[in-house]
Amino acid sequence: MADSTRSGRTRKVTITLPTEAVEALEQARAAGTIPSVSEYVAETVCARLDRERWLAEWRKLTGEPDPKAAAWADQVIAKHCLPGRMRKAS
């Protein structure tokens, strides 16, 4: 997993999450499947930021995806993912 503190610096912030997400994170922490809620959230945010930077670079090189291909991908994702988890169009 990515190092959530790549620069070695951290800063405390307050975020608001859905109750269900907080409960799931607390359960995972209690079960020992994540080291801490803070570390899990930090690693997740860093991974998302990395992916967004990578996609921005990719799109600079290749251009935007074909709208028909993107629509097909959205249908496949919607069919195989949990409700409400479909990717947002960019």
The tens digit of pLDDT for each residue in 34-69 reads 999 999 999 999 999 999 999 999 999 999 989 999
Start-to-end CA span in the chain (Å): 26
User: What whole-number percentage of the chain has pLDDT above 90?
Assistant: 66
State the Cα–Cα distance between residues 2 and 43, nearest whole angstrom.
6
Query: Which pLDDT score is estimated for 85?
Result: 56
Query: Which pLDDT score is estimated for 8?
Result: 74
Comparison of pLDDT for 41 and 79, the residue scoring more: 41
Q: Helix axis angle, 19-31 relative to 37-62, nearest 10°?
A: 120
User: What whole-number percentage of the chain has pLDDT above 70?
Assistant: 82
Q: How buried is residue 42: exposed, middle or buried, by Cβ count under 10 Å (0-12/13-18/19+)?
A: middle
